[in-house]
Chains A and B, each alone.
Chain A
Amino acid sequence: MKLSIKNKLSSLPPAGPSIQTWTRPEGSVWADCYRTPHGYRLRYPAFAEFEIDRDNQQIVCSPLDGVGEDTIQHLYTNHVRPLAMGLFGRPMFHGSAVEVDGYAVMFVGVSGMGKSTLALSFATNGFPFLSDDGLLFETDGPSLELQPSAPAIRVWHDVLDTMTPSGSADASSVGEINEKYSLPASSQITYCDTPKPVACVYFLQDNHMQTTSISPLSSADSAVNWLKNSFLIDPTDQDLISRQFSLISDLAARMPAYSLDYPRDFAQLPGVRQSILRHCSTEPAL
């Protein structure tokens, strides 16, 4: 899929009402989505518009004056592309992933559940990360593989201060979008840039546990969790949802899934990491 940038915003107003809106915590619109004759228009009122051409698998971005290239790339990588891929039969999911013994181990959950913190914790201790968010699978081959995504991990300031080996020296602010910082892959934050076969997935829970707790999920419970954490551009398109539902069910049937809860305490992360490594080492794939 290709992203191209043009310098002028489309003069055409969005046709009809928005089919989906994303809001900030205080209620203002962060983004909304409209149908167009050839696909969809994603509007980020403070930053840019993206036109998705469904037939030609092309995305054209029209940034607002003064919006930086990093911001556009950030929007494309973390929101536009994950939404668009579902249109092309390749749904994406909110999750991070790390490489353990040549296999991808995934942590899936909505924002704030600790995906990036876990990915960073593994990546700074010899287990390269494949993705910080936006899981994309290659399902055609004999084994299910996870594609690597952007070589950076986005974290909040507390994580940056506590966990990065070199403090904030290498971090850049994602400030135009939110208050997160982007940590690029480095010799200390290792990154895996090749697809890896999938070992298992952990769906993150937060019930204020004092110890790490891992329990197996049935394929049906796994499918429900994948559904909860999938990117979906058009919640009114029943054909699209039906196709995505079928793909998600297939995915759930093809990999072991677990529920993972752990203490949200930076000091306990080494122990959490060890519990996860001990657990996933029993997977048949590993």
Chain B
Amino acid sequence: MSLLENAYSIPKEVRLQQLEDQAVILNLKSGIYFGLNPIGVEVWRAIESGAPLPALCLRLTDEYDVEEATLKSDVEALLQDLLANGLIAQ
């Protein structure tokens, strides 16, 4: 199953600081930090609000004029990174 189909939560020790259209997230417990580009910020906001990621991908495909397959693969790679670094949880 694609990572996009899963539901995610944000651990309570993770903080985000938005800077213009980008952001930095930091896990206060592990000290791991991570920069998010504008699409990453959209993904983060969707996770925060519990919005479905496949629908987000469709919207972003239009907005950013990018191939759907490319965008989905980029978002999946981001989810993998965030999971591996304890910045989101399943």
Contacts and interface: CB of A to CB of B under 8 A. Distances in A.
Interface in A237-256: 238, 241-242, 245-246, 249, 252-253
Contacts of A218: 19-20, 22
Given A245-B15, A245-B17, A220 B28 contact: no
A284 to B, nearest CB: 17
Given A219-B20, A245-B26, A253-B19, 20 more contacts: A218-B19, A218-B20, A218-B22, A220-B19, A220-B20, A220-B35, A220-B36, A221-B22, A221-B35, A222-B19, A223-B17, A223-B35, A224-B33, A227-B26, A242-B15, A242-B28, A245-B15, A246-B17, A249-B24, A253-B20
A220 B31 contact: no
Main secondary structure on B side of the interface with A: strand
Contacts of B24: 220, 223-224, 227, 245, 249
Contacts of B23: 220
B13 interface: yes
B20 to A, nearest CB: 6
Given A220-B36, A238-B13, A252 B26 contact: no
A241 B22 contact: no
A227 B29 CA distance: 15
A253 B33 CA distance: 17
B29 A238 contact: yes
Interface in A213-240: 218-224, 227, 235, 238
Contacts of A223: 17, 19, 24, 35
Interface centre among A218, A220, A223, A253 (most CB of B within 10 A): A220
A15 B29 CA distance: 22
A245 B33 CA distance: 10
Interface string B13-52: 1010101101110101101010110000000000000000
Interface range on chain B: under 10, 10 to 19, 20 to 34, or 35 or more? Answer: 10 to 19
Contacts of A253: 19-20
Interface of B: 13, 15, 17, 19-20, 22-24, 26, 28-29, 31, 33, 35-36
Interface residues of A, number: 17
Nearest to B34: A224
B22 A219 contact: yes
Please give me the 3 A-B residue pairs with the lowest Cβ-Cβ distance, nearest first: A220-B22, A219-B19, A249-B17
Contacts of A249: 17, 19, 24
A235 B31 CA distance: 7
B11 to A, nearest CB: 11
14 contacts: A219-B22, A220-B19, A220-B24, A220-B35, A220-B36, A223-B19, A223-B35, A227-B26, A235-B31, A238-B28, A245-B24, A249-B17, A249-B24, A252-B19
Contacts of B28: 238, 241-242, 245
Interface centre among B13, B15, B17 (most CB of A within 10 A): B17
